[in-house]
Structure 1
Amino acid sequence: MTKLEDHMEGVINVFHQYSVRWGHHDTLSKGELKQLILKELTNTLQNTKDQATIDKIFNDLDADKDGQITFNEFVPLIATLVMTMHDNIHKE
């Protein structure tokens, strides 16, 4: 497996680590998303301890408004964060 493929699999594995924790297969509840953000994205996202920030992220990601985040709904968050990190690297 290439380095990039390994990192992509890592994103999938982290999503699954949090999505199956409470018995929901392949979706994240708001609480599960919050735990993922608090433990995995604390250096990347600001105000992660602010519930209003978590609520906004969750509502923005939950495209079908079913109260769960699927992997397909989660991917845009990762894409946005990667693009932001890329931009920040060029600012240094």
Structure 2
Amino acid sequence: MEDSIKTIVMTFIKASKGKDNLDSSSFKKLVKKQLGGIMEDAGSSSAVKEMQEGLDENSDGKVSFSEYFNLLGYLAKSMSQKESGETQAAP
């Protein structure tokens, strides 16, 4: 599990180029490259933009690590429920 947490953190740092936030372009690239295998709409610019807006709790147009982590939590919960046969509504 320790390696998984390191991967999550390092993926964000690499995508944000060491900044505190992901701008729209960086977020889109991260989603497409890193989450394309588990997210149906990862290749859709409009879906990724809508996802970013939904994550952007402080409406600054960027995705912070905390906001990014919310996405990962949602995806992990969805995967868990899928494996156990449950369903979940989108946030």
TM over 0.5: yes
1:44 aligns with one of 23, 38, 44:
38
Pair 1:10 & 2:4 matched: no
TM-score, reference length from structure 2: 0.87
Q: Distance in 2 between matches of 1:49 and 1:78?
A: 17
Unaligned runs of 5+ in 1: none
| Gaps in structure 2 of 5+ consecutive residues | 86-91
1:49, distance to aligned residue in structure 2 (A): 1.7
Poorly superposed stretches of 4+, deviation over 4 Å? none
Matched length: 85
Deviation, 1:41, is 0.4
Aligned match of 2:65: 71
The TM-score, its normalising length taken from structure 1, stands at: 0.86
Percent identity of equivalent pairs: 22
Cα RMSD for the two superposed structures: 1.2
